[in-house]
Structures are given as C-alpha cells and as structure tokens.
Amino acid sequence: MTAATVPSVAPRPTSGLAGAPARSGNAAAPPGTGDSGGVPFAGASAAPSIATAYVECERLGRASASSFMQAFRLLPRERRCGLAALYAFCRVVDDAVDERACADSTLAAWRGELARALDGSATHPIAVAIGDAVRRFGIAPQYLEEILAGVEMDLECRRYETFDELRRYCYHVAAAVGLAALPIFGCRDPQSRAYAEALGIALQLTNILRDLAEDAERGRIYLPLEDLRRFGYRERDLLTHARNAAFRDLMAFECGRARMFYQAARVALPARDRRALTPAEAMRRVYQRLLVRIAANPDAVFGPRVSVPLHEKVLCTAIAWLGTRGGHGA
C-alpha cells in the first residue's frame, strides 16, 4: 500500500493527516508483538500502562523516520501523544498486510484488538494508546474501522480500473486518517472535514507516484488502468521501468490531479481552525515539495526514493506556523 496520509494528516502509514499517508519501510516491531506482524500475544494477561503505551507509539514513530514526526512537534505534548498513537496504529496494520504471509489472520486479530481498545480491555501497547486517544479526544471509531477496511483492500485488489475506484481506496487509507486526527488537533469547524478529505487524497496520490516502482515490485499498480491506456503506457512498461514520452505524459497528468487536491485542501482550510491545523499545513507544504520534485523529473521514481531534505521540511514547518497565524499563504 502506498500511505498518508495525516491531516492523511496520513502512513504511507497510511498517509493521511496524522498518519498520511505513508509507507516508509518497516519499523521495528513493538515489544510484546513477537513475529506476528503486531498481533497481540493470545496469552497476554496484562496491559501496559497508558504512559508506557504512548512511549511505545512515539518510539515507533521515531524509528520510521517519517516526515510526520517533524510536524507533530508543533503540538502540545498531550495532542502529540494522541497523534503518535494514531500514526502507530496506521503503521502497524499497514505493515502487517504488506509484510506478513498471514495477513488475513493478522488483520482479523487487529480488528479484535481495536474492539478491545474501544472497551478498555486491550493488551497491545498501540491498542491501549489508541483506545485512550479515542476516549480523550472524542475520535469517532468509525474512522479507525475505515482505515482497517482500506488496509484490507490491499489484500483484495492489486489494480484499480478507474480513478473513482482509486479515490475510494485513498479515502480509506488516508482521508480517514485525517478525519480521525481532526479532534486530536482540536478542530471545531465542520469545514475541516472537507480539508482533511482533500488533503488525505492529495498526500496518498503523492505517495503512489513516489512509490510506483516499489509497489510494482510487490505486484501492485495503483495508477488507474484507464490512465495507462489513455497515455499508451502498458503495465509491463511500468514493471520494467520503461522511461519514455508516454510515461512522462502519464506522470504529468497524475501530478496535475494531485495538485488539484492540494488546491482543494488549501481553499477548504477554515479560518477558525487554521491554527489547530498547523501540523497538517506543514505536511501539505512538505508533500507539495515532494510532488514538485516528482513532476520535474518523473524518471526519478525508478531510482532511489525521491524525498524532501530535512532542512526543507523544517522550513515548511516554520512557514506553516507563520502562515496559520497571519493568513492562508501559498
């Protein structure tokens, strides 16, 4: 799966705002998870303390070296912990599907553990933390369930015929993450939901473009097949990393579509929640810079992972902080 998406803000955990969108390699397994892809030990008898659970979520975030961690630093400690729990939840379920032979059973186990997290009986540290975050911030559980549904889509579908189908996937794995993050950020304006959805999809589309080669090696093509046909770029061309005019035209089109969603998010940003969404705006700026790099040199997606240097991420964070206090910015 390709993620964000936190306000989506998503891994590729799931990319969205908090998560985001986004996959960035395997993180070290949390203590007590064994070799089961994050599935709690069946015989676990005692849950860790809430403080210990949050520490584990933050450790997982640091180990992933995600761009989201930089944006999280803008938040007060309590909210930062809540986002770390959401990020860790997205990350561990995403990795379970990507890396484990027993993905079906792993995902089923996480569904059960999420139910226990919601009733306060979870034993896995990440589930303990996400359960506390749900209660503390009023996160709607439906968004966590939608994230699991999105992860499950990677078990069932390796191709998307149309953009409408891909957009549905992006909603689940990225926009739902942003929607779950809104109460953690402290948002109050209902318009923030439109912002979170648009940004989540934008982040996920950017991740998809960045990870084209990696995903193809896993047997997954996220670009709509209707788009490949439109530009005359075949599946086997992608699998063999063919760099040609058709590929560049295809990428120009896909980058343009992602830019439209970034613009929609920027327009939807409500004045009432601008300050609360500062971390999300930092992520928007970072990922838009990533998209600019991809658009400038589409062939680069077949080489080392395209990324934004740390100093630019710090700059994006600073600009976002200033922009949400003075005006919408660019």
Percent of the chain having pLDDT more than 70?
Answer: 81
Region 264-292 average pLDDT: 95
AA identity, residue 177: V
Residue 247 CB neighbours (<10 A): 22
β strands within 239-291, DSSP E: none
pLDDT of residue 94: 87
Phi/psi of residue 84, nearest 5 degrees: -60, -40
Give a yes or no: residue 238 inside a domain. Answer: yes
Q: State the average pLDDT for the chain.
A: 85
Number of domains in the chain: 1
Residue 20 in this model has a pLDDT that exceeds 90: no
Residue 26 has pLDDT above 80, yes or no: no
Residue 293 lies in a domain: yes
Q: Is 108 part of a structural domain of the chain? A: yes
Distance CA 317, CA 280 (A): 10
326 pLDDT higher than 70: no
Q: pLDDT band at 25, cuts 50/70/90?
A: very low
pLDDT value at position 70? Answer: 60
Residue scoring higher pLDDT (232 or 16): 232
In a domain, 11, yes or no: no
Residue 15 in domain: no
**DSSP class of 45:** -
In this prediction the pTM is: 0.84
Let me know if residue 25 belongs to a domain: no
The string of DSSP codes covering 281-325 is HHHHHHHHHHHHHHHH-GGGGGSSPP---HHHHHHHHHHHHHHHH
Lowest mean per-residue pLDDT among 27-36, 161-170, 176-185, 225-234 = 27-36
Torsion of CA 301, 67, 35, 218, to 10 degrees: -20
Contact at 8 Å (CB) between 113 and 128? no
Asked whether residue 14 is assigned to any structural domain, the reply reads: no
Contacts of 323 (CB under 8 A, 6+ apart): 281, 329
Asked which of 20-34, 98-112, 184-198, 264-278 is least confident by mean pLDDT, the reply is 20-34
User: Ranked by mean pLDDT, which of 34-43, 92-101, 130-139 comes out on top?
Assistant: 130-139
Q: Supply the pLDDT for residue 314.
A: 85
Assigned domain for 146 exists? yes
Q: Report which of residues 206 and 26 the model is more confident about.
A: 206
Range of the domain at 112: 50-326
CATH of the domain at 270: 1.10.600.10
pLDDT tens digit sequence for 212-261: 999 999 899 999 999 999 999 999 999 999 999 999 999 999 999 999 99
Residues 296/330, Cβ–Cβ less than 8 Å: no
Burial classification of residue 105, based on how many CB atoms lie within 10 Å of its CB (0-12 exposed, 13-18 middle, 19 or more buried):
middle
Cα–Cα dist 284/262, whole Å: 7
Per DSSP, the chain holds a count of helices (H) and strands (E) of 15, 0
Provide the pLDDT for residue 60. 86
Rounded CA separation 292/305 (Å): 14
In degrees and rounded to multiples of 5, residue 78 shows phi and psi of -60, -45
